Amino acid sequence: MTGDLEMINLSTGERLRIDMDGTELRDTVTPPSIEWCDKGEHFSNRLHGGYTGEGPSQLWICLECNRK
């Protein structure tokens, strides 16, 4: 993040970045892919995370929590 505030609409990819001097940048980016980590109980980047278990007991665990 190069601005002081950056917001990305995860469903559309629309981004608003506001710099410290008040400059606004509006554009479209590829939104990050996130998933709920069942072990750490937080949202995390899906990169390198994985599922464990099967059926109703299947859980998704992020990379950081997988290392713990």
Q: pLDDT tens, 3-18?
A: 589 999 988 999 999 9
Q: What is the pLDDT of residues 21-60, one digit of tens each?
A: 999 999 999 988 889 999 999 999 888 899 999 988 999 9
Give dist(CA 20, CA 11) in Å, integer: 26
Relative to beta strand 59-61, strand 50-52 is: antiparallel
Give dist(CA 68, CA 48) in Å, integer: 14
Q: Which residue has the tokens 């609409």?
A: 9
Burial of 65 (0-12, 13-18, 19+ CB in 10 A): middle
pTM of the full predicted structure?
0.55
